[in-house]
Structure 1
Amino acid sequence: MRTTEHYFEVPLDHADPAGETITVFAREYVSVDHTEEQAQELPWLLFLQGGPGGRGNRFPSLGGWGKAAAKDFRILMLDQRGTGLSSPADRHTLPLRGSDRDQADYLTHFRADSIVADAEAIRRTLGAAPWTIYGQSYGGFCALTYLSFAPEGLREVLITGGLAPLTGPADRVYQATFRRVAARNAEYFGWYPEDRETVNRIARHLRETPEVLPDGSPLTVERFQMVGSFLGGNTRVDGLHHLLEDAFTATPDGDRLSDTFLEQVRGLVTRAANPLYALMHESIYGQGEATDWAALRVLQDHPEFRPDVPAPLLTGEMVYPWYFEQDPALEPLRAVAALLAEKDDWAPLYDLDRLAATTVPVAAAVYTDDIYVDRDLSLETARAVRGLQVWETDEFHHDGIADDGEAIFGRLLGMARAHTA
């Protein structure tokens, strides 16, 4: 492959184009099967990755969906504002904005509406015709915002595991996903019954014995429960068993958690690499009302996930206030997170009338047992978008494109193209 790096200056607030600007980075990928001259004639495909707060994928080579897409497209991989090589937003840079309130106000410009406005500004700068966009997970949420506010920039839209709920409070999202995660726990412990006792043993141990991760932060029961992120994987789910199998080691003071285990857990529970995920996560469901730590509220209806029960279940993507007490990368931003949770005037992220009337071809993969983006809410959204083609499958989980991205991409592109034939 050949790559080209692009840096774009865009308004912090697109409603004030003459005001402050930030940098947004994107990397272009082109297959060497195309000459440089041929590549200039290829249409663009913009990939919108999961998140919020995740930088664009770094391809070591063209494989999976990237290999499939590069046959016919120039791929643009965006570092969404605040991530990667774009102007960063983290514990180091945010205090430069001033007070906690100033920092929170700054972050109100880091949701899907601003990401879409960045993308349209970039498309115009590149001189690109309406382009194809491919949204995975949160990238699909952004794609729906794109369809709502800038459909003129779109040729076709492909979405995997990312049909966001268009209305309603964040609470109903977590009511649905807590149930999905509980079912996935049951399925997993059915495969590995010995791991049920290992999880219980680790939880008991952490209540009785302080353990510290390699970054010096505490490993609590609630942080340990975050290893449930493995449950959202298709083949990756078995990695949870490999993590748990060497959790303990013998020491002169009795059994302790092994360095191998603690190092792996550190990588799973820290948000040092993507602080915006924790800061902005519930805001992606905010539509005119405060989210107010919705996952924590809904947890009260699902006591099987509480860290103080004898056999706690492992958790999914939920974000809780204690993240900002126990993670060194987030602790300085604790007050900022609280202000964002209290914000009760979030702008709408979707235009229901425009979605109901869109003429842009849209094809989406909906994963039946997805623990992050609920199947029922996804199908509700699909019915609200004119002409949206759904492929529902139980063969994959949320990270399906990591397992068979080439086939999934090809299927969705074919569905979208067939819609316009």
Structure 2
Amino acid sequence: MGKKIVVVGGGIMGLSCAYYLSKEGYRVQVLDKSAMDAGASYVNAGYLTPSHIIPLASPGMMAKGIKWMFNSSSPFYLKPRADLEFLKWAWYFHRSSTSGKVEHSIPIIAKINVLSKQLYQEMHDSGDLGDFQLEKKGLLMLFKSRKAGLQELEVMKRVQDLGLEARELTPGELSAMQPGLSPDIEGAIHYLCDAHTTPNQVMEKMKSYLLAQGVEIHTGTEVTGFSGTGDTLSGVKTSVGDFPADEVVLASGSWSPKLVRSLGLKLSLQAGKGYRIDMHRPTPVQYPAILMEAKVAVTPMEGFTRFAGTMELSGVNHNILKNRVAAIAAMGSDYYPGLDFTPAELEGAACGLRPVTPDGLPYIGRVRPWKNLCVATGHAMMGWSLGPATGKLVTEIIAGRPTSMRLDGLGPDRRF
């Protein structure tokens, strides 16, 4: 029998790790304190985004955060609070938001995104999960101001330099592709290198596949600590008992810093709350799009259209601010005139917590001093896109094989 591996966390990261680890012949157990039917892996925009090469920590972002700090409906909301870990994270974020560090991050983000998109395709082609939505219509970046358009043109050129397909659309081309847009939209960039999925669909199919392969999934199982001696962990302690382990994978998203404290580890990470509104009726939306000035993502999924967005740094909680939901709806109606949200649709809004590192790069890899602990978290708004790549890399690390890409810059114990 292969090694027994305990994966802490049942979101897209944890399930992707379980997927590749089980294929390697390991005995895998997934632990999650929830029912595994909600959260960031279920409420995201479903994008696979090789085009998203700029990290959240970029020049000007902290200034925007401070500017919007007292506006709880703003796209990037930093809730003022006297929390030492948050203040440290904010300082590290500020230090990471330089042109030089962004330049360092761009090729790393591009490589892991391209790898992950390829793995989604392989997963789809393998038939392991049955059929699931994987559409390659690309992604539209819609802008109303020329300033926003010029900024995105610069990103487009960088994306093209990396060998990825993207182009600027003329107003006529945009109108033909996506009717029903507001006439004050000045233009769009079409990232043909991107794709989209329906997250809920993929998550349910992934769970069914893993169970059929013998992977144990334990819901309602809260991790309370770890056991081990020296530099080796021997198991995971939970609310329902202990789980012996030869290897432990920490894929617990925004809850990761709290879980590793008992191991003497510190992960600088903040929960970035995102919201979604689903519209289960016909809409004019034919292409995935990001409404640039509004920072809202729109996705035509299987059976419904999703409007998702905002980054709210307010701690680990699932409190829904109705003004933020209303802001997403207002922007949706603004870019797609005549698209009115019903009270029931607004009331049905949900949120999820995305783990955000100070430099916008995920934590993937071993973490000292523990020789059998692997961390897989901190993917922020690219979590859905990067799930398979992370699972593949974690499996290669545990198997002792060369990784599919270099892990420079992704170490969990890096300094900011």
TM-score, length-scaled by structure 1: 0.27
Which is helix-richer, 1 or 2?
Answer: 1
Which is strand-richer, 1 or 2?
Answer: 2
Structure with the bigger RCO (C-alpha within 8 Å, sep 6+) is 2
> Which structure: larger Rg?
1
